Structure 1
Amino acid sequence: MQHRIVVLGAGYTGAIAAGRLARRLYREDVAITLVNAEPDFVERVRMHQLATGQDLEPRPLAEMFAGTGVALKQAKVTGIDVDRRTVTVTDVNGPDGPEHEPGHEPEHELEYDTLVYALGSGWNDQGVPGTTEHAHEIASRPGALRLRERLARLDAGQPVVVVGAGLTGVEAVTEIAEARPDLDVALAARAGLGDWLSPKGTRHLRKVFGRLGITVHEHAAVTGVEADRLVTADGTSIPAAVTVWTTGFAVHPIAAATALEVTGTGRIVVDGTMRSVSHPDVYAVGDAALAMGPGDKPLRMSCASGTPAAWQAADAIAARLTGGKLPSMPIRYFNQCISLGRREGLIQYVTADDRAVRAALTGRFAALYKELICKGAAWGVAHPVFLPSRRRHVVRDQDRAASTVTSPA
């Protein structure tokens, strides 16, 4: 009987985990099912490009996993029962799938022996009044496409404000300012601009912002969003025909509704192999997992954390099923890669626990470096068949028992 592995979510981490498992285990031993609501792989790190009118290369999951043995299921996850080892899904109409009346899509259960939870995260409105009604998000492809349509309708001179000065906010605001120099583009930052960077990195960031004509509202905590303006904690009103909200991410709420041990924000608590500390048949990777990194600090929600976490989980699952050696490589950081439009970039080198050091790469070469990183990440996900194969057969419980030798008394 095949060991059933179900992977939920085909973003960077889920797709990588599924592809790596397919190259570590024999098809006759395991049945790997990858569940995703969309038919395509989404390059989330490029959503700011999609929002500004750029077209991204389509990456159909069916083509990516052709010949791997991974079974694709286009469906939405609606529930998980970790005690019964089942996942409840609702089938989504695919281009070649059956037609269903809206609101009457069939709901059914998938059984698993091992579950990989990689449902990721979405935008976080931080509870600020008016955000869900009036702000745009770019944490998803639908959100980026809605923003794309809205920006295309803006007349010259209208104000666009990006709220949040982290990596996503910085990339979004520079992309918008470069693509639409006719707009009045601004950034609202709770703290100082680039205050997490090295002095060299901060200087370059400010230089690019100045060149692109971006207005920066520093130490401006936004407390309200309206249809045509933002309000900050000190009562300042900032005009905004379009508000783009990039103040962090919130995980999918499904995990918090299960018996899994989760944090107060709903992230699944895992050990160094990405295995749930409460349910050993469940692994979590990417933004949905709370894993500790160097310095006993939680790994941040990012592709930089998620990709090695997916490798770790897949290798740990394969090792436990085949009696192999568990992976012991700690996850650490090397740099933060930031695009500043299509012609500028910033590579901030960091310590293992993600603190900036003095060294930073800037300018056109940094932009090319970032582009290479993005292309490499997408290529690695889209070509799991090229991953070096080190397959081993699954060791059954009865095989383990039969191989145990007891010394005579």
Structure 2
Amino acid sequence: MTGNIDVVVVGGGYAGVMAANRLRQRDDVAVALINPRRMFVERIRLHQVVGGSDDAVVDYREVLAEGVRLVIDTVTRIDAAGRSVTLAGGGTVGYGYLIYAVGSGSADPGVPGAAEFAYPIASLEEAQRLRPVVDAAPATAAVTVVGAGPTGIETAAELAEAGRRVTLVCGGVLGPYLHARGRRSVAKRLARLGVTVLDGPGAKVTAVTRDTVQVSDGRTLPSQVTVWTAGFGVPDLAGRSGLSTDALGRLLTDETLTSVDDVRIVAAGDSAAPSDLPFRMSCQAATRIGAHAADTLLARIAGEQPAPINLGFFGQCISLGRRAGIFQFASKDDTANGLYIGGGPGAKLKEFVCKHTVKHLADEARKPGSLTWVKDDKRHELLRAKRGEARATR
């Protein structure tokens, strides 16, 4: 690497790309982005890979700033003391500062048979692996989607719209984030598509076999293709490298996103746990957290005190096939409210969000430092409450 200050960004998703681009505000900062894939993955389109309506990849040349060096490899260890990372392909890369943006993926389902017989779709490779399985299944084959978050809902709708016979097993409430009004709208659209929705306390999957899914209320569902979208996990790179993590393996940081162990390591995206109070997984959060991670490093390089993160939200958008969707509005503190846009306008708004998320990255590549975001002052109240609870348990 050339330049006076070397920064390594580990991970080339929404947060990592945004951080790498934003760091280009300084000519004396040399940035290397290390990622295992040659293409940028639009993770919010992976259900479309399964349904066959999109490939969910963009050339890095469209979203990555000139001057950022793309290294196609996987980091296997971070040596914080030696300020270097070890690559799976051999060799090491040194750094002055590091941004940890490894993202998230599938978690161990912890359900008998799920790891063997269900298909996760949290990564591009997983979605690509499932696509030919769906294609090869008879048109009348029973398809079960497990998990009622955005990915589960979107996958169920996408496959049902293509004529598949789909059951969505929620394991609890359909669309937990949604307001009751938005949830009813989603349920109506799924019903129109022919999706059977199993929700409530008896709708937890207890076992998966090659051709069935067993549910906690005692039912055994036929399932020739089982898609697993429940759960959340992160790579264990931080823990393996001796850095402090939360219970799920996210890097523990302060409110500036700086590692509690090392002032030269900053986290971004799904793999960050600021004050052990992480933000909701979303591309909206990932891009803004990535930008703030870069701002933290730029402040530190300039000899200034980094600011704590202040991030507000708009809501959540979910596609319901290609012809319908929902945009669930929320307060800035990420609490869903009764306002939503559904149907065809909801689908158009979801597509607008998908395209403009990539556009935000491209805009930041062309003009580093241009991204702005909504602020929310309620986070400090959550932090105070969390600290009060901690003191009360001592």
Give secondary structure in 2 for the equivalent of 1:186: strand
Mark the structure with the bigger radius of gyration.
Answer: 1
Q: Bigger CA drift: 360-369 or 347-356?
A: 347-356
The aligned residue for residue 385 of structure 2 is none
Correspondence for 1:368 among 348, 359, 365:
348
The aligned residue for residue 46 of structure 1 is 45
Correspondence for 1:193 among 174, 179, 188:
174
Correspondence for 1:349 among 329, 354, 365:
329
Q: Distance in 2 between matches of 1:196 and 1:281?
A: 35
The aligned residue for residue 143 of structure 1 is 126
Correspondence for 2:219 among 214, 229, 236:
236
Q: Bigger CA drift: 376-385 or 117-126?
A: 376-385
Q: Distance in 1 between matches of 2:278 and 2:331?
A: 14
The verdict on how the C-alpha distance between 1:79 and 1:302 changes in structure 2, with shifts beyond 3 A counting, is same
Q: Contact between 1:251 and 1:266, CA under 8 Å: does it hold in 2? A: yes
The verdict on how the C-alpha distance between 1:234 and 1:207 changes in structure 2, with shifts beyond 3 A counting, is closer
Q: Distance in 2 between matches of 1:389 and 1:349?
A: 27
Q: Contact between 1:190 and 1:218, CA under 8 Å: does it hold in 2? A: yes
Q: Distance in 1 between matches of 2:195 and 2:272?
A: 35
The aligned residue for residue 259 of structure 2 is 276
1:325 is displaced (CA, Å) by 6.4
Q: Which amino acid aligns with 1:223?
A: T
Give secondary structure in 2 for the equivalent of 1:249: coil
The aligned residue for residue 392 of structure 2 is none
Correspondence for 1:72 among 70, 73, 77:
70
Once the two structures are superposed, residues 160-214 of structure 1 have per-residue CA deviations (whole angstroms, 9 ceiling, x without a partner) of 00000011111111111112x1x21110011132354223202211110111000
1:389 is displaced (CA, Å) by 5.5
* Structure-2-length-normalised TM-score: 0.88
1:327 is displaced (CA, Å) by 4.1
Q: Distance in 2 between matches of 1:50 and 1:2?
A: 42
The aligned residue for residue 311 of structure 2 is 331
1:234 is displaced (CA, Å) by 3.2
Correspondence for 2:93 among 88, 110, 114:
110
Matches within 5 A, 1:243-262: 243-262=226-245
Unaligned ranges ≥5, structure 2: 371-394
| Fraction of identical pairs, as percent | 40
1:59 is displaced (CA, Å) by 2.0
The aligned residue for residue 129 of structure 1 is 112
Q: Which amino acid aligns with 2:77?
A: G
Q: Contact between 2:23 and 2:29, CA under 8 Å: does it hold in 1? A: no
Q: Contact between 2:149 and 2:176, CA under 8 Å: does it hold in 1? A: no
Q: Distance in 2 between matches of 1:122 and 1:74?
A: 19
* Structure-1-length-normalised TM-score: 0.85
The verdict on how the C-alpha distance between 1:367 and 1:221 changes in structure 2, with shifts beyond 3 A counting, is same
Give secondary structure in 2 for the equivalent of 1:279: coil
The aligned residue for residue 135 of structure 2 is 152
Once the two structures are superposed, residues 367-401 of structure 1 have per-residue CA deviations (whole angstroms, 9 ceiling, x without a partner) of 111111110111222454322568xxxxxxxxxxx
Report whether the alignment pairs 1:264 with 2:247: yes
Q: Which amino acid aligns with 2:118?
A: A
1:328 is displaced (CA, Å) by 5.0
1:153 is displaced (CA, Å) by 0.7
The aligned residue for residue 193 of structure 2 is 212
The verdict on how the C-alpha distance between 1:228 and 1:123 changes in structure 2, with shifts beyond 3 A counting, is same
Give secondary structure in 1 for the equivalent of 2:41: coil
Once the two structures are superposed, residues 271-293 of structure 1 have per-residue CA deviations (whole angstroms, 9 ceiling, x without a partner) of 2221112211001111111125x
Unaligned ranges ≥5, structure 1: 92-106, 391-409
Q: Distance in 2 between matches of 1:79 and 1:117?
A: 12
The aligned residue for residue 401 of structure 1 is none
Q: Which amino acid aligns with 1:188?
A: V
How many residue pairs are counted as aligned between the two chains? Answer: 366
The verdict on how the C-alpha distance between 1:377 and 1:340 changes in structure 2, with shifts beyond 3 A counting, is same
Q: Which amino acid aligns with 2:98?
A: L
Q: Contact between 2:148 and 2:176, CA under 8 Å: does it hold in 1? A: no
Q: Which amino acid aligns with 2:74?
A: K
The verdict on how the C-alpha distance between 1:362 and 1:227 changes in structure 2, with shifts beyond 3 A counting, is same
Q: Which amino acid aligns with 1:14?
A: G
The aligned residue for residue 393 of structure 1 is none
Q: Distance in 1 between matches of 2:307 and 2:291?
A: 9
Q: Contact between 1:137 and 1:143, CA under 8 Å: does it hold in 2? A: yes
1:117 is displaced (CA, Å) by 0.8
Q: Which amino acid aligns with 1:237?
A: T
The aligned residue for residue 10 of structure 1 is 12
Q: Which amino acid aligns with 1:235?
A: G
Q: Bigger CA drift: 254-263 or 323-332?
A: 323-332
Q: Contact between 1:39 and 1:62, CA under 8 Å: does it hold in 2? A: no
1:224 is displaced (CA, Å) by 1.1
Q: Distance in 1 between matches of 2:172 and 2:369?
A: 47
Q: Distance in 1 between matches of 2:128 and 2:149?
A: 21
Report whether the alignment pairs 1:36 with 2:35: yes
The aligned residue for residue 390 of structure 2 is none
Q: Distance in 2 between matches of 1:17 and 1:118?
A: 9
The aligned residue for residue 101 of structure 1 is none
The verdict on how the C-alpha distance between 1:6 and 1:160 changes in structure 2, with shifts beyond 3 A counting, is same
Q: Distance in 2 between matches of 1:57 and 1:225?
A: 28
The aligned residue for residue 203 of structure 1 is 184
Give secondary structure in 1 for the equivalent of 2:244: coil
